[in-house]
Structure 1
Amino acid sequence: MMNDKRISRTGNFSFDEEAGNKDKALFHEAHHVNLKVVQWSGILTSMLEMWDQLKPNSNALRSVSSSGRHQIVGPSQPVVALVGDDIILLCNLKPAMNVLDMTVEWARPDLDPRFIYVWRDGVELESKKHPSYRGRTSLFIGKLKFGDISLKLSKVKITDEGRYRCFIPDFKLEFVIDLVVGAVSSPVIFNIDRTTSGVVLECESKGWHPEPEVFWLDGDGNVLSAGPTETVQGPDDLYTVSSRVTVEKRHSNNFTCKVEQKNINQTRETNIHISASFFTVQPSSAVCIFFVIILVIVLLCSSAVAFAWWKWRKGRKKKTIQNLQLESLKQKDEEQHGKDKLEDQNS
């Protein structure tokens, strides 16, 4: 053992005291840095959680805070419904508490009267409800004691589309929900015609809302180039769309008319298979009519020529007979004249 160094032993480990002091200093410094990293990590995590709650694309329920510690929570995205559906517009008081004896109002600000449901003093005020919603809106009475003031809307109509306001006057709390109403129908391929350039298909779909798009696809799912979509909106605000496409012979000869509305995430389509023999161009009715007309003209011309030739032959024959008769008369006159001359000489 060297005299200028002192060796310490603890258990099975031994180390130089001077080196040990340095290691301890490094350990404390590393521990301090690690604590700072952990603190900053916690702060960043909290900030990310706050951002997830605030960002508009969050799938969580968004909330509107008001006085005290209460707030109303509801859907963060517009509610989509199809015509005829029964839907629920979610609206909940948090923290949950009994609102059975409070006033709850559901309204559409764009209507007059604006109320579509009013609950006050333990009963529904039917007289305040807009006529178009009578018999179609209700609350879940048994859930009011838990702060659930969600509205059930039955037999949804196109005119139900709009902004809905859920309001608790006692807390001055409100929540706004946008309702998008859609209507769909399956397309029909109703016209098939052959041309020299291919087969013309026409597709139509009635009763859509909002206005949809129309696409034509081949058997491999490729979008075909088609003519412009024709759109007609009826008095019921529903759209009728139609589209026409000219297709050529392909290996499968399967074609699809697809009608799509992205806002309500709805798609309807119909398929058709065309026989390969159908692509063989046959004379059209117009061509047949053209050839019939030409044939009639030729027959008429031939008849006219034949008639003219017959008239000419008839006239020539008549003239020949007349000439022969004249010559015969002339010959008879000459013979009679000769007889008369001989008689005069004899006398």
Structure 2
Amino acid sequence: MNHKLEGLVFGLIISVLLLIHTIEGQSQESNLPQIIKAMLGDDVVLPCHIKASEDPSQITIEWGRPDLKPRFVYVWHNQKEYLTDQNTAYIGRASLFHDKLNDGDVSLKLSNVTHSDNGKYRCYNLKDKTEYLVQLLVGSVSSPGISLAGLDTSSGRVILDCSCAGWYPEPEVIWLHGEGNIISAGPPETITDSDGVYNVSSRVTVEKRHNNYFTCRLQQKDINQTKETHIHIPDDFFIVQSDCSVSIGFSVVFALMLVFGVFFFIRMKQQRKKSE
């Protein structure tokens, strides 16, 4: 009987939360959310505080995401967590700090965050109808790899390719000489997967330098992350080879000179025999 009663009470609470969200959501959503940044796989705390004078046994806190269905990330009521309508993506990963509730700290802890956790979170206090918005940004990075993509034999330049996978948000790609100067390169090629994660590749054509060291740097200022890889190209790769047409022309001229030389030698030998 008690379980049925608790179920009815929780159903009523959820209904009230849904109704209040519908009525008051438009005016509250204009609040600017606090931005919290984390890296893929981290545990993160989304801050939220209520009046410390409130009786913890009387508070009802809803953590939710307006863009999800169901939107409930975590609900706390009557000193218990209610997980009946919790979004399945957060099962076993969302919790409050129970030892801090008396201090008014109702911050949400999310464990092992993923890219799908990116979004706006709403901490709602049912008693005084106040809310606090938090924007979570989950980033990810990887080290780039540089490879030799080709040789421009006509100019003695080398084509380098830099690629990386698993970046979020989209990174900026910068090529550098060994001296630290930026090398001009075309726009990178980007591909996104189902989670919106970026795979990036960039090519650049470089000339011989005094040390032949080159750097591919990826940076993402929103999450304050930078990764880079260096490569050294031996001098032999920058040798300018003869143009094909020039080589053919030289060969033809050499062959003609050889033929005329042989012909002239035979002619001179025949004339010498006649004179004898």
What displacement does 1:128 show? 2.0
Q: Which has the higher contact order (CA 8 A, sep 6+)?
A: 2
Q: Computing the radius of gyration over CA atoms, which structure comes out larger, 1 or 2?
A: 1
Q: 2:187, 2:57 → 1: CA distance?
A: 56
Query: How do 1:1-347 and structure 2 match up within 5 A?
Result: 77-95=34-52, 97-196=54-153, 197=155, 198-281=157-240
Q: Is the 8 A contact 1:227 1:244 kept in 2?
A: yes
Q: Is the 8 A contact 1:213 1:259 kept in 2?
A: yes
What displacement does 1:149 show? 0.3
Q: 1:167, 1:76 → 2: CA distance?
A: 13
What displacement does 1:96 show? 5.4
Q: 1:274, 1:101 → 2: CA distance?
A: 69
What displacement does 1:76 show? 6.9
Matched-pair identity in % = 50
Q: 1:256, 1:97 → 2: CA distance?
A: 57
Q: Could you list the runs of 5+ residues in structure 2 that have no partner in the other structure? A: 1-31, 256-276
RMSD over aligned CA atoms reads: 2.4
What displacement does 1:144 show? 0.6
What displacement does 1:150 show? 0.5
- When residues 195 and 167 of structure 1 are mapped into structure 2, their CA distance, relative to the original with a 3 A threshold, is same
TM-score, normalised via structure 1 length: 0.58
> What SS does the aligned partner of 1:258 have?
strand
What displacement does 1:228 show? 2.1
Moved more, 188-197 or 202-211: 188-197
Report the structure, 1 or 2, having the larger helix content: 1
What displacement does 1:194 show? 2.2
Q: 1:191, 1:235 → 2: CA distance?
A: 30
- When residues 76 and 280 of structure 1 are mapped into structure 2, their CA distance, relative to the original with a 3 A threshold, is same
Q: Could you list the runs of 5+ residues in structure 1 that have no partner in the other structure? A: 1-74, 299-347
- When residues 96 and 216 of structure 1 are mapped into structure 2, their CA distance, relative to the original with a 3 A threshold, is farther
What displacement does 1:92 show? 1.5
